[in-house]
């Protein structure tokens, strides 16, 4: 039982303004594993004040100095990597190998990459008689989700600090413990007081307070489209800069010349990563109508191998969903899919055998899903794959783009030039061809209701910079 009873504000652990707490539940066992403070307006205000007071000195540091601080934080994180892995397994339920590689390994790589990038990034350039300067945007409110908790924190905190911004971090109240461990690491690194502040709390109290706070200059938010709309609405009153990484209903478009087995297997794997709790998951598999039966058979055979189980078992590929609320939400979407006439090929709402305790859902595959069905249009955030069919490349591209979202997509083809041509036509912020590997330096973000702004690499750094032109007289 981990009881974190203080918030990290202005360089020290401070008692919260109230006595309420959030209980953190292990989704595999349904047991309480810890508590964190349920902060309020006063705590958010104190954190913003600390960040504002620290901003002038921190933003005046050189890029090389900020790189050294990031390196110190990286070293402290690395020394706690095993502890972070164990903690995130208990909070989130992602299987051990994937947690170690993605939930902890990726944030470490991101922190290290920004320590390197900030040393070489061109913060100034000459344009005629102007000196164009890229400088820190100010105080940043970083509001992060529960599904990739440490990764999404570092994807905001690392570039914000690299840019010279100070930060108030509000992690998800569902998986907050890793953020407290990160604050321990930052405190041990000796980061100057007020540069990074941590306030746990609800979105309705702390999140909304930060989004509307007059001393916050920029909000970087990752979460649902509904919550993102609210953040943007609140921020608009103060003309604040906002970066939103929201939901998705991403297609995997399998063309008629693709290696069908490879494409279907790759799609199922991408759909079920983190038990489907991934914003850019390929949840819609689009296949040529004439190859539907073959594709459906491969999909079912592949999905059946994602047996739910204990995330600490090294053979487990599908852990539990994060919470009771999420569990009920996903089961309701499955019921809706059946009710609306989609063909249930695998899985369903029944409790997986031997897993009466924990928030487990069987790997589920729906076939013959029509474009207007709920499961084809709304983000489910669970291990649910929908198979749709098309008759021509034109129809396939139109079907892929038939969504209010635009975060990610996949294209599969035996002809790379054809695949690239189709990828260019897809309205999504990130498109993978034939299951290409993830690139940590490439921009990540979406079109339309998937948000705006980009994270990762130099594109993520630029989100936290303002551009100033200084005109100088010509001799």
The pLDDT, as a whole number, for residue 474 is 87
Q: Under a CB-based contact definition with an 8 Å cutoff, are residues 199 and 7 in contact?
A: yes
- In terms of Cβ atoms closer than 10 Å to its own Cβ (0-12, 13-18, 19+), residue 325 is exposed
pLDDT band at 399, cuts 50/70/90? very high
> What whole-number distance in Å separates Cα of residue 141 and Cα of residue 475?
43
Q: Under a CB-based contact definition with an 8 Å cutoff, are residues 320 and 308 in contact?
A: yes
The pLDDT, as a whole number, for residue 147 is 97
> What whole-number distance in Å separates Cα of residue 266 and Cα of residue 406?
20
> What whole-number distance in Å separates Cα of residue 371 and Cα of residue 369?
7
> What whole-number distance in Å separates Cα of residue 161 and Cα of residue 142?
12
If we measure between CA atoms, which residue out of 62, 68, 245 comes closest to residue 163?
Answer: 62
> What whole-number distance in Å separates Cα of residue 271 and Cα of residue 42?
41
Q: Under a CB-based contact definition with an 8 Å cutoff, are residues 111 and 84 in contact?
A: no
> What whole-number distance in Å separates Cα of residue 352 and Cα of residue 268?
19
- Average pLDDT over every residue of 220-228: 96
What's the DSSP call for residue 290? G
Chain-centre distance for alpha carbon 40: 24
pLDDT per residue over 115-141, tens digit each? 999 999 999 999 999 999 999 999 999
> What whole-number distance in Å separates Cα of residue 108 and Cα of residue 181?
14
**Average per-residue pLDDT for the chain:** 97
**What's the token pair of residue 293?**
């039966």
> What whole-number distance in Å separates Cα of residue 351 and Cα of residue 362?
7
pLDDT at 475 over 80: no
pTM above 0.85, yes or no: yes
Q: Under a CB-based contact definition with an 8 Å cutoff, are residues 378 and 372 in contact?
A: no
The pLDDT, as a whole number, for residue 406 is 97
**What's the token pair of residue 363?**
């790997």
Whole-Å CA distances, 473 to 127, 128, 130, 131: 13, 10, 9, 11
Catalytic residues: 245, 279
If we measure between CA atoms, which residue out of 427, 468, 425, 428 comes closest to residue 444?
Answer: 428
> What whole-number distance in Å separates Cα of residue 333 and Cα of residue 343?
14
In the chain, % of residues over pLDDT 70: 100
| Domain boundaries along the sequence of the chain | 2-246+449-471, 250-439
Provide the pairing of β-strand 31-37 with 343-346. unpaired
If we measure between CA atoms, which residue out of 327, 313, 322, 312 comes closest to residue 91?
Answer: 322
Whole-Å CA distances, 311 to 93, 101, 152, 323: 6, 14, 21, 15
Domain at 250-439, CATH homologous superfamily: Aldehyde Dehydrogenase; Chain A, domain 2 (3.40.309.10)
Q: Under a CB-based contact definition with an 8 Å cutoff, are residues 291 and 257 in contact?
A: no
pLDDT per residue over 157-213, tens digit each? 999 999 999 999 999 999 999 999 999 999 999 999 999 999 999 999 999 999 999
> What whole-number distance in Å separates Cα of residue 317 and Cα of residue 94?
8
pLDDT per residue over 285-334, tens digit each? 999 999 999 999 999 999 999 999 999 998 899 999 999 999 999 999 99
**What's the token pair of residue 263?**
């494409």
Whole-Å CA distances, 50 to 200, 205, 211: 16, 19, 16
* Domain 2-246+449-471: which CATH number of 3.40.50.300, 3.90.550.40, 3.40.50.360, 3.40.605.10: 3.40.605.10
Q: Under a CB-based contact definition with an 8 Å cutoff, are residues 324 and 359 in contact?
A: yes
Angle between helices 63-79 and 105-120 (to 10 degrees): 160
pLDDT per residue over 226-263, tens digit each? 999 999 999 999 999 999 999 999 999 999 999 999 99
């Amino acid at each position: 039982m981990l009881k974190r009873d203080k918030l990290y504000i202005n360089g020290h652990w401070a008692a919260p303004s109230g006595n309420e707490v959030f209980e953190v539940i292990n989704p595999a066992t349904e047991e309480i594993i810890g508590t964190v403070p349920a902060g309020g307006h006063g705590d958010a205000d104190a954190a913003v004040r600390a960040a504002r007071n620290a901003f002038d000195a921190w933003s005046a540091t050189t890029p090389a100095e900020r790189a050294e601080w990031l390196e110190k934080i990286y070293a402290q994180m690395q020394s706690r990597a095993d502890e972070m892995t164990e903690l995130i397994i208990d909070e989130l339920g992602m299987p051990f190998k994937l947690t170690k590689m993605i939930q902890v390994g990726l944030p470490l790589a991101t922190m290290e990459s920004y320590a390197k990038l900030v040393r070489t990034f061109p913060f100034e350039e000459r344009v005629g008689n102007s000196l164009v300067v890229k400088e820190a945007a100010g105080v940043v409110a970083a509001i992060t989700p529960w599904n990739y908790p440490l990764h999404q924190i570092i994807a905001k905190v690392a570039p914000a600090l690299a840019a010279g911004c100070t930060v108030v971090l509000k992690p998800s109240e569902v998986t907050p413990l890793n953020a407290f461990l990160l604050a321990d690491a930052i405190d041990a690194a000796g980061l100057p007081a007020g540069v990074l502040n941590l306030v746990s709390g609800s979105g309705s109290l702390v999140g909304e307070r930060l989004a509307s706070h007059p001393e916050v200059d920029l909000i970087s938010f990752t979460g649902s489209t509904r919550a993102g709309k609210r953040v943007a609405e609140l921020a608009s009153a103060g003309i604040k800069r906002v970066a939103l990484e929201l939901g998705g209903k991403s297609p995997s478009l399998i063309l008629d010349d693709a290696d069908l087995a490879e494409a279907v297997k790759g799609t199922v794997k991408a759909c079920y990563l983190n038990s489907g709790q991934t914003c850019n998951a390929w949840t819609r598999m689009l296949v040529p109508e004439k190859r539907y039966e073959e594709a459906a058979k491969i999909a079912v055979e592949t999905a059946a191998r994602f047996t739910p189980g204990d995330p600490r078992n090294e053979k487990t590929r599908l852990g539990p969903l994060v919470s009771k609320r999420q569990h009920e939400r996903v089961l309701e979407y499955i019921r809706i899919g059946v009710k609306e006439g989609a063909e249930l090929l695998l899985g369903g709402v029944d409790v997986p055998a031997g897993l009466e305790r924990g928030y487990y859902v069987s790997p589920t595959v729906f076939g013959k899903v029509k474009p207007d069905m709920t499961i084809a249009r709304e983000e489910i955030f669970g291990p649910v794959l929908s198979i749709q069919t098309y008759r021509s490349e034109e129809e396939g591209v139109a079907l892929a783009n038939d969504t209010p979202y635009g975060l990610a997509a996949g294209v599969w083809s035996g002809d790379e030039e054809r695949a690239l041509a189709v990828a260019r036509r897809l309205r999504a912020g990130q498109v993978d061809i034939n299951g290409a590997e993830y690139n940590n330096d490439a921009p990540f973000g979406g079109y339309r209701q998937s948000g705006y702004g980009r994270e990762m690499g130099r594109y993520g750094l630029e989100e936290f910079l303002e551009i100033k032109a200084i005109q100088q007289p010509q001799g």
